Amino acid sequence: MKFICPLENCTGCMSCATTCVHNAISVVEDELGFLRPVIDENRCVDCGACRRVCPELNRVEMRFPIACFAAAISDRSHSNDFASGGVASTIARHFIEKGGIVVACCGNVITDIHHKIIRNIEELPNIAGSKYVQSRISPNLLLEIKNELIKGSEVLFIGAGCQTAGIKNLFSKRFNNLTIIDLVCHGVPSQKMLNDNIEYYKGLYPSLDISSIRFREKKDGIISYGWYAKTTDDKPTDIFVPWRKDAYMAAFLEHLSLRACCSLCRYAFSARATDITLCDFWGLGNDSVLKDRNGVSAVLINTEKGKTLFNSLSGLDIEQREVGEAVRGVGRLQTPSPYNPMTNTFRTLYSKEGLQKAVTDTAFAKFKRERIKSIPLLGGCLRIMARILR
């Protein structure tokens, strides 16, 4: 066997590498920094086990949500600690307090964002906040999860739709002690791209505090996107670069740096494959009692297991809403991130000349053209000159 699924469809869930008992599948980084499975044909016996668990070849069952809630953490003094309403962290805390374990994206080391097993409350702050990068899931971690499920541990897995699909194909048919939550996803750049941007800022700010880097700020319920960080000087400097001026965030929000499969995503629709789906409740109606909160989560309940879990939570203020209200407000509950026509140019430039050059010649060039066109007289003159030159 030379490949499992078409390269452009691979999500990097690593289910295939986990299930191969012949160690014929290794994980390698491509020129854009994305992790991909590669088959050693000398070891492969063509048993087909990898293809049977691949969610791109064996699609998981999708269900429309049975209920929707707006939710926000009751303790308002901690609302800024969470990217949205704090629901994921609340569920994770509940699981650990009940003796279970949580597997989620850990961001305490931003240069190596990865999923890990969390067993105690003290580690929970590491999973809070948005990480706009693909979290690494290692085959060894998936084997640890399998061992925990075999032991009878209650396991909660939180991840993007494609990651949860891999988990579901690997384990859900065998184990009832697995609960799966997906986070609605815009698409994912690679860790390599993020690290390249960190190195760029370290050149500008030698004392950059890497642990302080974040991608969005929340104040009075308003979210701003950009590059936020601090320095470790005696007089620390606050760094803020708006997203349209930061290479990493511009490429991310313009859909240039996303993994190839993101524009083909099977999980960017209202039908879901997990027990619970979480996202920001964009478009929450003005009649909501939570409208004034500093961050509100949309909670889509997809299964009876998810309903039972959500009903058992404490520490949240909740309000039932219509499923359609949540879907209408979130683009990635309707369709995948659109393909940017400049993507191939970005990928070629990135592979050869790096992130800054790739974004300068694509997203930044586009923003510059938009600024020129926004100047009425100048934009008109340029259009007239273009006609003359033609």
pLDDT, averaged across the chain: 92
Which residues share a beta bridge with 226? Answer: 242
Q: In this predicted structure, what is the pLDDT of residue 173? A: 85
The share of the chain scoring above pLDDT 70, in percent, equals 94
> CB neighbours of 79 closer than 8 A, spacing ≥ 6?
72, 73, 85, 86, 218, 293, 294, 295
Residue found by looking up tokens 């030379």 in the block: 2
Query: Is 390's pLDDT higher than 90?
Result: no
pTM, whole model, 2 decimals?
Answer: 0.93
Name the residue among 297, 303, 360, 307 with its Cα closest to residue 79: 297
Q: Per-residue pLDDT for 345 more than 60?
A: yes
Q: 244 has which bridge partners?
A: none
Confidence at 251, pLDDT banded by 50, 70, 90: very high
Q: How many angstroms separate the CA atoms of 241 and 229, rounded?
A: 9
Q: Which of 262, 229, 254 is nearest to 360 (CA)?
A: 254
- Which phi and psi angles does 360 have, rounded to 5°? -60, -40
Distance CA 7, CA 29 (A): 13
Mean pLDDT of 292-297: 88
Instruction: In whole angstroms, give the CA distance from residue 103 to residue 330.
Output: 25
- Residue 83's pLDDT band (cuts 50, 70, 90): low
pLDDT at residue number 380: 62
pLDDT tens, position by position, 216-239? 887 766 778 999 999 998 888 899
At 378 the pLDDT is: 56
The sign one gets for the Cα dihedral 16, 21, 25, 29 is: positive
**Is pLDDT above 90 for 379?**
no
Contacts of 175 (CB under 8 A, 6+ apart): 149, 155
Closest CA to 144 of 160, 157, 132: 157
Nearest partner of 273 among 297, 306, 298, judged by Cα: 306
pLDDT at 115 over 80: yes
Residue 377 is predicted with a pLDDT of: 57
Asked if 258 contacts 189 with a C-beta cutoff of 8 angstroms, the reply is yes
Q: Say if CB 40 and CB 24 are below 8 A apart.
A: yes
Measured CA to CA, the distance from residue 362 to residue 367 in angstroms comes to: 9
pLDDT of residue 128: 83
Q: What would the pLDDT profile of 121-140 be if each residue is shown by its tens digit?
A: 999 998 887 889 999 999 99
For the chain, give the number of residues. Answer: 390
Asked whether residue 78 carries a pLDDT value surpassing 70, the answer given is no
Q: Evaluate whether 301 touches 276 at the Cβ level (below 8 Å).
A: yes
**pLDDT reported for residue 81:** 62
What's the rounded mean pLDDT across residues 341-348?
Answer: 98
Taking residues 343-362, report their average pLDDT: 98
DSSP state of 184: -
In the structure, how many helices (H) and strands (E) does the chain have? 13, 13
Using the predicted structure, report yes or no on whether residue 187 has a pLDDT greater than 90: yes
Greatest alpha-carbon pair distance for the chain in Å reads: 76
Beta-bridged to residue 277, according to DSSP, are 182, 300
pLDDT at 13 over 70: yes
Tokens encoding 386: 């273009």
Alpha-carbon distance of 260 to 281, in angstroms, equals 27
- Percentages helix, strand, coil for the chain, rounded to the nearest 5? 40, 20, 40
Give just the sign of the alpha carbon dihedral 115, 265, 19, 32. negative
Antiparallel, parallel or unpaired: β 25-29 and 114-118: unpaired
